[in-house]
Structure 1
Amino acid sequence: MDKSEIVSLTIHGNVKTTEFPEETNVCVKLHTVAMGDWKIITGESVFLSSFSYRGTDNQLFIDLPFECALKSTNPFMWPRLVLNCFSRDNSGRDSVSGYGVLTVPTEPGKHICRVYCFLPESSSIMQEIIAKLRGVNAEFVDPLMPANADGRYACRTSARGYVDVEINVSIKSSESGFRFSPAVTERTANHTNVPSSIADLAGAGSTGIGEIFNIAEEHEESAGGNN
């Protein structure tokens, strides 16, 4: 494979804050999902934060840095970031608070994204009762399932909260034929159709105001002569 055909993607950023109204503490686990022909060449694929508790300002600060580099022969199945959020109760038991997925931005530069998280609903009333008695929420068997579309249409979910992520993206694809910079289209305003007077607005743009009054007087004179 020629090196000129490789698409290189470097991402680094920070999981800044999160908000789950029903939770007093949150821990975030971030997965870098590389599917298709994408491969992680440097950095880790999993990042885990410590538990963050609400302070006097009633906010949850995560402060989880992450960094990795990926490569592929084509941009198909663009990489994604999957967020697994956990909370801990008074008994020390950990349970899932929400899942979130973020597609890595395709434009180079700095991006601030808000990832909304959700939880799957129990498939039956009995399982929901058991989950309430155990004090845990329903969760996916595969924690990376939010990154895949297979089987998602049959899954019922409920909104839980959100996570704010700051991510910096660098893309190198000089000779592969793919363009990742935002396309800027310049549009020049055309003022030829804008009316400059009441006469233009009435559809008499080529007729002067004096000519309009002269035409009106001629119509009045002809009407008086006929009478």
Structure 2
Amino acid sequence: MAELFCIGTLQGASGYPHAELCAKWAFVAGDAWELVEGEESGQTQVDVPGEDERYTVWSHPIDVHYTTRSLSGWPKLVFQVFRQDMFGRNELYGYGFVHVPTTPGTHVLEVATWRPAGTLMDQVWSFFLGATPQLKSMDLIHNPSDRFRLHTIAMGKIHVTLSIAVRGFEKHGVSL
């Protein structure tokens, strides 16, 4: 079987209206992919930078090892970003995803995020109460099937560093 190793760090985030952020993350892979070691999902801590700072620092580790029988369903890294207000409430600040790079080596990735805009009433509700619209199905984040129907608002970026190592793909005629 072919093997994929992903070792990296969720460095942080930038470009958001507020910087008191945390992120939930998860690897999503096809049926032919099997997790051998590591955590497939997790959550960062909430970073509370100073007043003038606009960069959120997480430095959260990622380390997974997959085996596969097929290239179909190559892993993706999916994110949900939340802002924690002074009352400890978590407000959705964005969704995003990135395909795990297919080439070995170290990759610095920027993941653009977005959130649903909702109706005008949803936007007023969000402004006064911090209750932003959320997706009912997390599959919409990384599957393009119905995502084109969504009205969204661009948010900030997540910064990720991933080191990729592969083994055994050349035995199956795949050169990465």
The answer to whether the superposition gives a TM-score over 0.5 is: yes
Q: Are the structure 2 counterparts of residues 130 and 106 from structure 1 closer, same or farther at C-alpha, using a change threshold of 3 Å? A: same
Structure 2 unaligned runs (5+)?
none
SS at structure 1 position matched to 2:148 = helix
Distance in 1 (alpha carbons) for counterparts of 2:57 and 2:126 = 28
Answer whether contact 2:122 2:132 (CA < 8 A) is retained: no
Distance in 1 (alpha carbons) for counterparts of 2:139 and 2:162 = 20
1:41 aligns with 2:45: no
- Find the partner of 1:85 among 81, 88, 95: 81
Report the residue type matching 2:83 in the other structure: S
Q: For residue 50 of structure 1, what is the aligned residue in structure 2? A: 45
Runs of 4+ in 1 over 6 A off after TM superposition: none
Q: Are the structure 2 counterparts of residues 56 and 23 from structure 1 closer, same or farther at C-alpha, using a change threshold of 3 Å? A: closer
Q: For residue 99 of structure 1, what is the aligned residue in structure 2? A: 95
Report the residue type matching 1:153 in the other structure: F
Shift, 1:36, TM fit = 3.3
Identity in percent: 23
| Corresponding pairs, count | 174
SS at structure 2 position matched to 1:52 = coil
Shift, 1:145, TM fit = 2.6
SS at structure 2 position matched to 1:175 = helix
Answer whether contact 1:98 1:160 (CA < 8 A) is retained: yes
1:135 aligns with 2:162: no
- Find the partner of 1:24 among 16, 19, 22: 19
SS at structure 2 position matched to 1:53 = coil
More strand by percentage = 2
Shift, 1:135, TM fit = 1.5
Distance in 1 (alpha carbons) for counterparts of 2:122 and 2:79 = 24
Q: For residue 111 of structure 2, what is the aligned residue in structure 1? A: 115
Q: Are the structure 2 counterparts of residues 57 and 171 from structure 1 closer, same or farther at C-alpha, using a change threshold of 3 Å? A: farther
More helix by percentage = 1
Distance in 2 (alpha carbons) for counterparts of 1:127 and 1:26 = 22
Shift, 1:120, TM fit = 1.2
User: Whose Rg is larger?
Assistant: 1
Larger RCO of the pair (alpha carbons < 8 Å, separation 6+): 2
Shift, 1:13, TM fit = 0.2
Shift, 1:35, TM fit = 2.0
Counterparts of residues 1-227 of structure 1 (less than 5 Å) = 6-55=1-50, 58=53, 59-122=55-118, 124-172=119-167, 173-180=169-176
Structure 1 unaligned runs (5+)?
1-5, 181-227
Q: Are the structure 2 counterparts of residues 53 and 144 from structure 1 closer, same or farther at C-alpha, using a change threshold of 3 Å? A: farther
Answer whether contact 1:100 1:118 (CA < 8 A) is retained: yes
Q: For residue 196 of structure 1, what is the aligned residue in structure 2? A: none
Report the residue type matching 2:49 in the other structure: R
SS at structure 2 position matched to 1:41 = strand
Shift, 1:129, TM fit = 3.2
Answer whether contact 2:107 2:162 (CA < 8 A) is retained: yes
